[in-house]
Structure 1
Amino acid sequence: MSNLNVQFRQRIGLAENVAITFDTLNTVLEKTARALAFENLPIIAKETTRLTKEYLINKIINKQGGGLCYDLNSILYLFLKENGFNCSLIRGITFNHEKQAWNTIGRTHVAILLTHHRQLYIVDTGFGGNLPLAPVPFNGEVVTSDNGEFRIEKVENELGDYIFHMKLKHKDRDWKIGYVFDSTVKYENIEDLNEVQTIIVEHQNSPFNKRPLVTRLTDNGSVTLTDTSLTEWVNGKESKREISAEDFEKIVNERFGIKYH
């Protein structure tokens, strides 16, 4: 068993003797979602470096950090490859629900394309609080998890050939668009995703280079931290409180296990 295989299991709390099969992927995704925070702290602190396997291991495993989609799905992709899965990485364009339009910074969402028994699936552990916690098939079937319902729709437009839809538990009454992606453009080398990181770090319309954000799913909901507030969902009930700069550093350390200064 490789170092990454052992280290990633330890990071998410998965025993070394557990065989990783398609049938146990749900368990892997659930543990990953609750262990790894979706966060942009290195971007805000201007401490990002080039995306490599070694960088991800140091950041997410050694330093107990989290990351954005290209970090979280890249390290999960490497872990799945180590365990014999047929998978690659894809890029998508997220939907801005406030503006009711596709985001203008391009294909900056990274997810995993997985093939199992000739069926295609999306595996995604890097979409903030919108995680399906299970592989989502391309055949339109609705997947239900503790986080809601998810499905993929076949489309024909200039932006891609499939759309990822979601209906989050306790939050959405209707289906919402997550992102559109082109399933024919695949990435095998995570270093090819450095273009995504550059856009997220530098683009004026990037949603992740202006203020800190840390969010993670919990056993009974989710917790989201910004520089001004802490929001928690527990069994469908939301609570929110304002925080100070001093509170932020303390909460990041205590609630998310991330050292931030």
Structure 2
Amino acid sequence: MLDLDRYCDRIGYNGVRRPTIDVLNAILARQPDAITFEALDPLTGKIPDLSPDAVDAKLLDARRGGYCFEQNSLLLRALTALGFETEGLIARVWWMMPPDATPGPWSHMATRIHLDGRDWLADAGFGTCVPTSALDFGTETARKTAHEHFRLKPTTDGWMLEAKLDGDWARVYEVRRAPAEPGEYVRMNEMAATRSHFATDLILARTTPEERIVVSGNRLTRRNQAGILERTHLDVAGLEGAIRSTFQLPFDPSWRMVLERIGSQ
């Protein structure tokens, strides 16, 4: 079972430990800030181990980050330990895809929370556009968060999560109504780690109370609460510095070969 003290210390949460909407929102605001979204293991040929002990050792003890299956499996166990009624969901990503794109696989993990007679979407693992507040499945009304407005629109299979960016609504992902099936996360984790952009592209993301910070390839982007963007191209030294300082990760020398390829592009 998850050591709740270790988890709360890792994300810097020192509030009450009861299953309330305020506690849920506090957790969802803290985890994407304290635990960086990163897929450095797939980029170096490793498939992340999703066993609870492995996730805790990596994200809590080694103070590494992780991608959706690691981040949200940790979140689900933490919320369960806090007394929330939880259920694992799966989604397919539409982020930055053209309107006429073919639907992709169900390859993103999210969580449903049943609280006070309502169902809520909770997610700490979408990286570049993770919602930092719980979203009510029962309404299409836009919810203002510290960063963007989000809304959930019903679809044939579930709900489409959308974010308002620069005045327009953009699709983020479609979350399936039915819960994830046994073994589905394991299969999709292997696919994501070996046959998706995570295996070839450097992706890092951290959402602080003030801004979203993203590295995609050799480009670092900052977007503040007003939506103002700052973009910087990084060389190898800049990428290593960002990993160490901006994203607060313990640097592994085995990553340097990957950074040399990306930083020279």
Pick from 149, 158, 161 the counterpart of residue 158 of structure 2.
161
Q: Letter of the 1:197 partner, please give it.
A: N
Deviation of 1:105 after TM superposition, in Å, equals: 4.4
Identity over aligned residues, as a percent?
18
Which 4+ runs in 1 deviate beyond 3 A?
A: 16-20, 101-105
Residue equivalent to 2:261: none
8 Å contact from structure 2 (residues 29, 132) kept in 1: yes
**What do you get for the CA RMSD once the two structures are aligned?**
2.1
Change (3 A) 1:238 1:80: same
Secondary structure of residue in 2 paired with 1:175:
strand
Change (3 A) 1:49 1:224: closer
Deviation of 1:25 after TM superposition, in Å, equals: 1.4
Can you give the 5+ residue segments of structure 1 that lack an aligned partner in the other structure?
none
Can you give the 5+ residue segments of structure 2 that lack an aligned partner in the other structure?
254-265
Residue equivalent to 1:245: 236
8 Å contact from structure 1 (residues 217, 223) kept in 2: yes
More helix by share: 2
8 Å contact from structure 1 (residues 105, 199) kept in 2: no
Task: Map 1:41-190 to 2 at 5 A.
Answer: 41-101=40-100, 105-140=104-139, 141-156=141-156, 160-167=157-164, 171-186=165-180
Deviation of 1:142 after TM superposition, in Å, equals: 2.2
Q: Letter of the 1:194 partner, please give it.
A: V
Change (3 A) 1:256 1:74: same
Change (3 A) 1:80 1:101: farther
The aligned length equals 250
The Cα offsets for residues 169-200 of structure 1, whole Å up to 9 and x where unpaired, read as xx43121221112222345x7x6511111110
Distance 1:219 1:137 in 2: 21
8 Å contact from structure 1 (residues 95, 178) kept in 2: yes
TM-score normalized by the length of structure 2:
0.86
